[in-house]
Chain A
Amino acid sequence: MSGESFARTKTLRLALFAATLGILFSLALLLKETPYTFVGFMFLGQPLLALALLLLAVEVVRDLRARGVL
């Protein structure tokens, strides 16, 4: 695996990890609503999901640039 490919895989894995954590925070709220699960979803779950989306977007842009589309 080349250095660039490794970096891309790493970014995507990070996105996957952040999304998994974000979904778990959401699931905790949906399974049992308490003030803690609500705050966890608001202040940790959502930012993690946003971070995952951002990392994916970065990777998409990088991919398009590598193909000369952008």
Chain B
Amino acid sequence: MSRALAAVFSAAVTASLAPAAPSLPRPHGWIGTTDEWARGLGIGFALLDLLLLALAWRSLRRSGPSSVSKELLFGAVAVLPLAVVFFSYSYGLEASKKVEACGSCHVMTPWVKDLRDPKSETLAAVHFKNRYIQENHCYTCHTDYGMFGTVRAKWEGLGHVYRYSTGRYELPIHIAKPYSNLRCLNCHGQSKKFLDPAKHAVEDLPDMLSGKTSCLDCHGPAHPRREQKASR
């Protein structure tokens, strides 16, 4: 029994560690990312818990609430689910930040398509193709910084899923509120290029910081305009 469990656990971890589409060779000693480990361990614990639940069910059916069935129940209902929830959260929260997660609703297809288009010169595409942002491109630019920024982004994301699932949205979709300059300045604010008076006049900075002047006024568009999207 313990060998079978070890085999299932090991298979789940190995399967989750296998890279989907390796583009570059992994460095020597590569053992996977935290996400991959969280996923593998989560799957392993979930399978183990399902097995314990089945055994507890059988024991309960055969001999009623005996000491064996109680022990199995304690493990399957009170202990292992804690590990499963922990790893599901670890994996789920990180995976929900990926471009694939944002692009899984078909209304987002034109945005994601433009983002990945090497010929596109929109701000989002330029950031993507030059890897100015390493990963989680949508999430990085559309989330306010700090703890509450993350919480708000998750909450709004749930709202997006609700509206998409129930069809409570209008086309064409548009950003809910004006894009905050602070999201741009979090990365660019201290850069030499931004602070160069020849690029951004000192007297203009207060307006930029207050949001009166949008970065996108000069550096946009961030995404293809409505007519461009329609022609794609």
Contact = CB atoms under 8 A, between A and B. Distances in A.
By secondary structure, the B interface counts as: helix
A23 B101 contact: no
B139 interface: no
B77 A41 contact: no
A39 interface: yes
B216 interface: no
A20 B50 contact: yes
A44 interface: no
Interface of B: 39, 42-43, 46-47, 49-50, 53, 56-57, 60, 64-65, 69, 73-74, 76-78, 81, 84-85, 87-88, 91-92, 95-96, 101, 104-105, 157-158, 160-161, 164-165
Contacts of B46: 23, 26-27, 30
Name A's interface SS: helix
B53 A16 contact: yes
Contacts of B105: 35
A9 B94 CA distance: 39
Given A52-B81, A53-B78, A38 B53 contact: no
A38 B81 contact: no
Nearest to B89: A41
B81 A23 contact: yes
Nearest to A22: B81
Contact of A26 (B53, B85, B104, B157): B85
